[in-house]
Amino acid sequence: MPISIIYILFTLFDASNCQWEINESFLSNDEIFTTSGGSSSENFLLPSSQTSANFITCASPYTSYLTLTNAYPSAWTPNRCTIYDRDWISMDLYFQGTWSSQYVQFTIGTFSYSYTYISPANYLLTTGFCDATPFQVRTLNFTLAIAVGSTYSQLKFTSSNTNAGLVSIRNIFVSSVKCYPSCYSCTGPKYNQCTICHYGIQTNNICPPCPSNQYYQKEQGCRDICDVFSPLYQNGFCQSYPIDIIEGSYFTDPIYDDIFKWSLIYDPQHVDTTPTAIIIVNHVLGVLKYNSGVYQYFNSLFTYSNLPYLIGLQITIMLFNEIPINCGIQFKINNTYYGSIYKNASGIQTHKLKISELLNYGIESTQMYFTVQYDLILYIDIPKYEFVFQAIGNYTDGTAGWGLRSVYFTSGYCSEYCKLCEVSFKCKTCESGYYFYRDGTCIGSCSYPYQRLSGSYCYDYDDETPYSQYLVQEYMDQTGDPEQYAKYKLISQNGSNFLKGSDIYYSYWQKFRVFGGPMVWAQAKFQRVHNINNPHHSVTIAFYILYGPSFPSNGKFIYTIESNTPVPKSTAGIYLINSDGSRKDQIYEKVLHNTNTFTITWECFGPNNEPIKAYLWILQLLYCCSQLLTLLLIMLRLIYMYFMEQHLQFQYCQILLSRMLEICKMFNLSIILFNLYIKTRLLQHVNQLIPNLNQDVLAQSINMKNQINVLVVLLSVINAQVLLTVQNALTTNNRQLSQGNCNCIDGYYPIISNPKCQLCHLFCKTCTGPTSDECLTCNAILNIEKVGSVCRCPGGKSYQYTTKTCSSCHSSCSTCFRTTIDGCLTCNSTLNRLLKGLKCVCAPGYYELSIVCTSCPISENSSLSECYKQCNNNQLIWHTITCSSCDTGFQLVIWRMSTYLWRFINKRI
């Protein structure tokens, strides 16, 4: 029998809008298992044992199936999993042999679900399961009901068939409602369906935003900075961004190679050689105490071929007991200070870097330390050379210590596969073979149905239609959604369809859940009607059509949008063949549309089609809102005046301040549409009066004039109220009305999640974000300079808050944070100076003479105290003399290594 297949692939692409997500999955891949232990962690076991459950292995397809028999009637998962109340469970059961009202039971915790089956006299199917085995397949769907909210247990399957009946189990999926990112628990996926929040307390089921100086990490809560792997702050949340890890060091095992790349920095007063890779909650390099530290040489940045905008640095440390007061840990690169974490009377503080996450582990039993983990993040501008990273403590109490868990250097605000970034989150040059994308990244493929390639740029929906919203996003992966069934209406069918069950419209294809698919339907017609409550002007549709390996030439897939002409598609001219022999076609269509319902119909048509492998993936839809006028029209429905443009501008912007600020700039189209609405209603009003004019023209004209006068008075009252409300709203939200736009005032920038404009960096007059590298224009600060989007003080100058100027550093400093001699951050090595504390002092072998570091003479001169160096037992000797011995606990070879390290560091400064 020829195999005729058609299936449509509807890929969904913005996971933030998906309503369900996979919680657990089992037995979904073509994989070979054995009965002697198994080859996969998802292999099932016989109950109360470590013996593998019973599996049958097939040659076509080459895979194994968990199979319950009279000899092996039960199986369960080796590990427990958490399943939640209202989770939706789906699985495929392949029945073989004789079944006479016996059942298959699924159990987890106290919940169980049974399916009773009666086998036919003869199984009709021999293709699509395991070799030529006769079978019948049934797909089970059911919703979990757990009174306590969730259960943590093993999944168990049991067959009551004690005869020759077998059942093979495949494609077990547990789907959960995906809460909005700020919701810890919810009743649905929307922002106003939260029951418990990650931060704060819900009001009317809406979780509050973070304070203005913090960032919302999705599904975690508020942070001082976004995670280094989610650095893009957009739509009110830290968004995952594809960055490169240039180099890193992470301790996973005491004998892991990375431990040997680190060297200890000893405290001469408290020499301790014991720190190594240890386990205190996690693997760390520690315990480091007093003024000890660690350093490592990194060289990958030198060989990194791309040019990122900034380098991202994430440091994870473990604190063992609290940092002593006025003590801390500082971090250096090539002996230049870049930041620190310390404690003062106000508690834990940071300088230059931010805390992205804090994990409190409490008392660790084996070491008796109160253990806290800190993830620290810093973005730095350093040259592309090798460097030495140092972490050095400054502790005064030996009962406390710290350890280093990991260090990562990343491409910062520049995406992977980007050759050059000149501003944050915007690649200027992609690597060869990659395309520019709308979010500033570089992507290697532009083949999704919602994408189209134009030169080196990959366009998608958001490029085509700004301010659009998704109407449908389904079948992105293997996730199930129980609410979909009621949305699809079966119009007609012919031949053999729905072999998995009369109400089963989906199956699985290459790790995707598909609408249709193997043994579902081959000659049927479906319709779906979408309700679109918001005004809009168009709908863009995209999906894949995938034809099976033997789809007949006279078979067709036909889709119809609204009452438009049906569009037939076939395999003619399609040459792209997938690994299973299927062929793919892509549909991308934009239609003008403005009514409240949107109807689309799909049909698999052809007398030679059959459903053994008839696959159909279904569709993604997007509707694009031109303007949201609904609230405005309701409020002013009875006002037929045609001279309301100024009032409309304010009223519209006021609504948008609380609803959609980002569309306020499009108000002109709203005015045109609203004026048209007003004139139409006024014309209707006049036409209603015309038939009565002959009866009493004067009376009707007076009545009409009075109505208009009443409307004018009403309008003036509303206008005054609106003006006052808008002015207050604009002031409160740091906005001003400018040429019909509700713009942020100077010094503030907008965010989508909050109508209130946020404060720019003090260097920026106008900006797109909170940092000094997101400036559009700079403030009027003396000596300020703008490089790209960065407003900064020039090299050799530092911002002074008292004078609000960029003032020159002390002459001994290369860079500084204040203008005094003890405000240096880096030193100019060409002037023979190095950083000691916060001062740039003369390097060994030089002394200060008229603010110039002058070479010490070869001959000893007792008046030049800076030309002496300290050796064993605090002995001072002339700089040209070599120390012949070291203090107790030190070897001379360490001095030589330190000298080498010092020369290397100063070479790179």
Q: What is the pLDDT of residue 723?
A: 66
C-alpha distances in angstroms, 796 versus 252, 366, 818, 831?
42, 50, 11, 14
Check pLDDT > 50 for residue 813. yes
- 161/218 same-domain check: no
CB atoms within 10 A of CB 717: 10
Q: What is the pLDDT of residue 467?
A: 59
Q: What is the pLDDT of residue 295?
A: 93
pTM above 0.95, yes or no: no
Q: What is the 3-state secondary structure (H, E, C) of 274-318?
A: CCEEEEECEEEEEEECCCCEEEEEECHHHHCCCECCCEEEEEEEE
**Burial (CB count <10 Å: 0-12, 13-18, 19+), residue 402:** buried
User: 132 falls in which pLDDT band (50, 70, 90)?
Assistant: very high
- 391/321 same-domain check: yes
Tell me the per-residue pLDDT of 494-536, one tens digit each, with 9 for 90 and over.
Answer: 888 888 888 888 888 777 788 877 788 888 899 988 888 777 7
Would you say 616 and 518 are in contact if contact means Cβ atoms under 8 Å apart? no
Q: What is the pLDDT of residue 333?
A: 94
Helix (H) / strand (E) element for 101: namely strand 100-108
- 624/483 same-domain check: yes
**In sequence order, what are the beta bridge partners of 839?**
836
889, part of any domain: no
User: 56 falls in which pLDDT band (50, 70, 90)?
Assistant: very high
Least confident of 1-15, 366-380, 469-483, 544-558: 1-15
Tell me the per-residue pLDDT of 699-724, one tens digit each, with 9 for 90 and over.
Answer: 545 555 566 666 666 666 666 666 66
908, part of any domain: no
Enumerate long-range contacts of 887-891, CB under 8 Å, 24 or more apart: 887/268, 889/266, 889/268, 889/271, 890/266, 890/268, 890/271
680, part of any domain: no
Q: What is the pLDDT of residue 800?
A: 87
Q: Name the residue among 15, 229, 216, 192 with its Cα closest to residue 751.
A: 216
Least confident of 195-209, 457-471, 822-836: 457-471
- Cα-Cα-Cα-Cα dihedral of 484, 489, 494, 500, to 10°? 20
Q: What is the pLDDT of residue 904?
A: 42
624, part of any domain: yes
**DSSP E strand stretches across 383-462:** 387-394, 401-415, 418-423, 426-430, 435-436, 442-443, 452-454, 457-459
Tell me the per-residue pLDDT of 79-131, one tens digit each, with 9 for 90 and over.
Answer: 888 888 889 999 999 999 999 999 999 999 999 999 999 999 999 999 889 99
> Where among 629, 645, 673 does a domain terminate?
629
CB atoms within 10 A of CB 597: 10
- 44/157 same-domain check: yes
Q: d(Cα 604, Cα 473) in Å, to the nearest integer? A: 22
**Burial (CB count <10 Å: 0-12, 13-18, 19+), residue 808:** middle
Tell me the per-residue pLDDT of 35-52, one tens digit each, with 9 for 90 and over.
Answer: 544 444 457 899 888 888
Check pLDDT > 60 for residue 690. no
**In sequence order, what are the beta bridge partners of 602?**
526, 559
**Burial (CB count <10 Å: 0-12, 13-18, 19+), residue 552:** buried
Query: How does DSSP assign 763-787, residue by residue?
Result: TEEEESSSSTTSEEEE-S-BT-EEE
- 35/142 same-domain check: yes
What is the token pair recorded at 423? Answer: 């501003």
- 524/610 same-domain check: yes
C-alpha distances in angstroms, 349 versus 328, 373, 399, 686?
9, 14, 20, 72
User: 402 falls in which pLDDT band (50, 70, 90)?
Assistant: very high
- 319/189 same-domain check: no
- Is the bond preceding 750 in cis, omega lying within 30 degrees of 0? no
> What crossing angle do the helices spanning 667-693 and 697-732 adopt, rounded to 10°?
160
Q: What is the pLDDT of residue 909?
A: 43
- 446/509 same-domain check: no
Tokens 């598909």 locate to: 514
Count how many domains the chain has. 7
Q: What is the pLDDT of residue 697?
A: 44
Check pLDDT > 90 for residue 71. yes
Check pLDDT > 90 for residue 156. yes
897 phi/psi in degrees, rounded to 5: -65, -40
Q: Which domain holds residue 555?
A: 470-629
> Which CATH number fits the domain that encloses residue 758?
2.10.220
**Burial (CB count <10 Å: 0-12, 13-18, 19+), residue 900:** exposed
647, part of any domain: no
Q: Rounded mean pLDDT of 827-851?
A: 86
Helix (H) / strand (E) element for 237: namely strand 237-239
User: 878 falls in which pLDDT band (50, 70, 90)?
Assistant: confident
Residues with Cβ within 8 Å of 730's Cβ and at least 6 positions away in sequence, in order, are 657, 736, 737, 742
What is the token pair recorded at 373? Answer: 């983990």
742, part of any domain: no
For residue 424, give the 3-state DSSP assignment: coil
| Rg over CA atoms, the chain | 35
Q: What percent of the chain has pLDDT over 70?
A: 78
Tell me the per-residue pLDDT of 283-342, one tens digit each, with 9 for 90 and over.
Answer: 888 889 999 999 999 999 999 998 888 999 999 999 999 999 999 999 999 999 999 999
- 346/274 same-domain check: yes
Tokens 């190679």 locate to: 257
520, part of any domain: yes
For residue 339, give the 3-state DSSP assignment: strand
Residues with Cβ within 8 Å of 587's Cβ and at least 6 positions away in sequence, in order, are 449, 541, 542, 543, 544, 545, 559, 569
- 271/399 same-domain check: yes
Query: How does DSSP assign 467-504, residue by residue?
Result: TEEEEE---SSS---GGGGGG-EEEEE-SS--TT-TT-
Task: Tell me the HSE value of 396 on the side-chain side, using a 13 A CA sphere.
Answer: 6
> Where among 595, 629, 663 does a domain terminate?
629
What is the token pair recorded at 333? Answer: 């690169």
- 560/539 same-domain check: yes
What is the token pair recorded at 90? Answer: 């789906």
User: 169 falls in which pLDDT band (50, 70, 90)?
Assistant: very high
Q: What percent of the chain has pLDDT over 90?
A: 35
Q: Is 673 left (phi over 0), alpha (psi -120 to 50) or beta?
A: alpha
| Parallel, antiparallel or unpaired: strands 88-96 and 166-177 | antiparallel
Query: How does DSSP assign 537-555, residue by residue?
Result: SEEEEEEEEEE-TT--TT-
For residue 634, give the 3-state DSSP assignment: helix
CB atoms within 10 A of CB 591: 13
What is the token pair recorded at 214? Answer: 């913090």
Would you say 197 and 219 are in contact if contact means Cβ atoms under 8 Å apart? no
Q: d(Cα 300, Cα 314) in Å, to the nearest integer? A: 16
> Which CATH number fits the domain that encloses residue 590?
2.60.120
540, part of any domain: yes
> Where among 606, 629, 652 does a domain terminate?
629
- 479/454 same-domain check: no
What is the token pair recorded at 137? Answer: 């397949």
